[in-house]
Amino acid sequence: MKQAYWTEMDGKDGLKHFKEEFYVKKGVLYMDGNSLGLLSKNAEKTLAEVLTDWKEYGIDGWMAGTHPWFTLSEKLGGKMAPLIGAHKDEVIVTGSTTGNLHQLVSTFFQPAGTKTKILADELTFPSDIYALKSQLHLKSLTPADHLLSVKSQDGRMIEEEDIISSMTEEVALIVLPSVLYRSGQLLDIQRLTAEAHKRGILIGFDLCHSIGAVPHELSNWEVDFAFWCNYKYLNGGPGSVAGLYVNRKHFKTAPGLAGWFGSNKEKQFDMSLEFVPSDTAGAFQMGTPHVLSTAPLIGSLELFAEAGMGRLREKSLQLTRYMMELIETELSSFGFHIGNPREDERRGGHVCLEHSEAARICKALKENQVVPDFRAPNVIRLAPVPLYTSFQDVHDTIVRLKKIMSEKQYEKFPNVREVIA
């Protein structure tokens, strides 16, 4: 493997200094940032600042201190908005991914007449399907009859033509992933939104595997709603508070699940039994914000503002392209198959590497100080996150993987996943 390329690319990388801002364990090649991002020094600092505010101010921390808690969710929503191409008041940091999906579906799924069905896909993350089935049950509708699932032709990807042809007159709501969590396929959000709206269907997207890795223009594309976690590419930490987006055209729509932190801020402490919602996406909050689980995002988003999504996406594509080239040249005789799209415009932030021995290859990688991610039945996900991954890191990952395969190191492990894959 030629050293010239990665040396040249690392030499001219305008983002390379960001690696020093993260706690990257010496000798470890961390390729799992699409599952849990690493801790940054900035995130550590802002978490400490919020703890200090609690220590110094007690309950007055809601309105005083370095990061007053009462408006923190709105403030961070505004900082997150550029990552997805949204207006500041269309984004709120709140809840969890699945909790926010429940909120949004309870709000926007209003079956009437023959329009009683929800359209999803068979490759989406299971928790989304659990939530959609629950919402159907709450409306006394059976998932077998009212949840439509777009089928994959190859078990890896979903054809957009198949999604569009499934947008029938019976569909009231569509919920799709922006990036498929196994294969890394990036769907054409703009096209799918336009096609849904032509048919009078509301559409929303799960951005868990794209936010912080792929720029979006949700407001311009008129996407109705979106939801996501913040612990992957955004490095908000395990259990980090999630986020949601609601297009301005829906600000007058009452939230399906009302709670007091969705109130107009000026009215919230009137303690009226009549709910007066915020006139922003903040209306879709429910309970009191989880301040300590939100705090690391303050520092993390500062790094994204400095780096810029355009530069991050450019480097991400270069890293994954380089990784695929090395896989093809160095691992072609070991039975691997690249299961993600090759085209830049159809690929998210990770490489999907398929192998029949994937579970135990992942264990051997960890033994060799490479942190991958296994997804059943046969996928090794490798995510060279641009904020803290160099081109040499990508090169060294494939070098270690080739050694594992050449020496058959994986054979000493059982080919079954761990409890947490």
Rounded Cα distance between 337 and 384, Å, is 18
Q: Burial level of 105, CB count in 10 A (0-12/13-18/19+)? A: buried
pLDDT at 417: 87
Which residues on neighbouring strands pair with residue 225, listed in sequence order? Answer: 204, 246
Give the mean pLDDT of the chain.
Answer: 97
Are 196 and 166 spatial neighbours (Cβ–Cβ below 8 Å)? no
Residue 13, amino acid: D
As a whole number, mean pLDDT of residues 82-97 equals 98
Known binding residues for pyridoxal 5'-phosphate: 97-98, 125-128, 206, 209, 231, 260, 288
Is residue 33 pLDDT above 70, yes or no?
yes
Fold category of 3-30+308-412 in CATH: Aspartate Aminotransferase, domain 1 (3.90.1150)
Phi first, then psi, for residue 284 (nearest 5°) are -90, 5
Known binding residues: 97-98, 125-128, 206, 209, 231, 260, 288
H or E element, residue 47: helix 41-57
H or E element, residue 196: helix 189-198
Q: How confident is the model at residue 150 (pLDDT cuts 50, 70, 90)?
A: very high
- Nearest Cα neighbor of 234 from 389, 102, 94, 39 is 39
pLDDT at 293: 98
Residue 176, amino acid: L
Rounded Cα distance between 291 and 301, Å, is 16
H or E element, residue 322: helix 309-330
As a whole number, mean pLDDT of residues 159-179 equals 98
pLDDT in tens, 380-405: 999 999 999 999 999 999 999 999 99
Q: What is the CATH number of domain 46-306?
A: 3.40.640.10
Q: Burial level of 122, CB count in 10 A (0-12/13-18/19+)? A: exposed
Q: In what order do the strands lie in the sheet with 225-228?
A: 91-93, 243-246, 225-228, 202-206, 171-177, 117-121, 147-150
383 secondary structure, DSSP code: B
Q: How confident is the model at residue 420 (pLDDT cuts 50, 70, 90)?
A: confident
**How many residues does the structure list for the chain?**
421
Cα-to-chain-centroid distance, residue 239: 13
Is residue 2 pLDDT above 90, yes or no?
no
22 secondary structure, DSSP code: B
Rounded Cα distance between 66 and 58, Å, is 13
The full set of domain ranges for the chain reads 3-30+308-412, 46-306
Show the tokens assigned to 138. 């709450």
pLDDT in tens, 204-217: 999 999 999 999 99
pLDDT at 1: 64
Rounded Cα distance between 254 and 359, Å, is 46
Rounded Cα distance between 109 and 256, Å, is 9
Are 102 and 118 spatial neighbours (Cβ–Cβ below 8 Å)? no
Radius of gyration of the chain from its Cα atoms, rounded to whole angstroms: 22
Instruction: Enter the pTM of the model.
Output: 0.97
pLDDT in tens, 220-276: 999 999 999 999 999 999 999 999 999 999 999 999 999 999 999 999 999 999 999
pLDDT in tens, 319-341: 999 999 999 999 999 999 999 99
How many other CB atoms are found less than 10 A from the CB of residue 55?
10
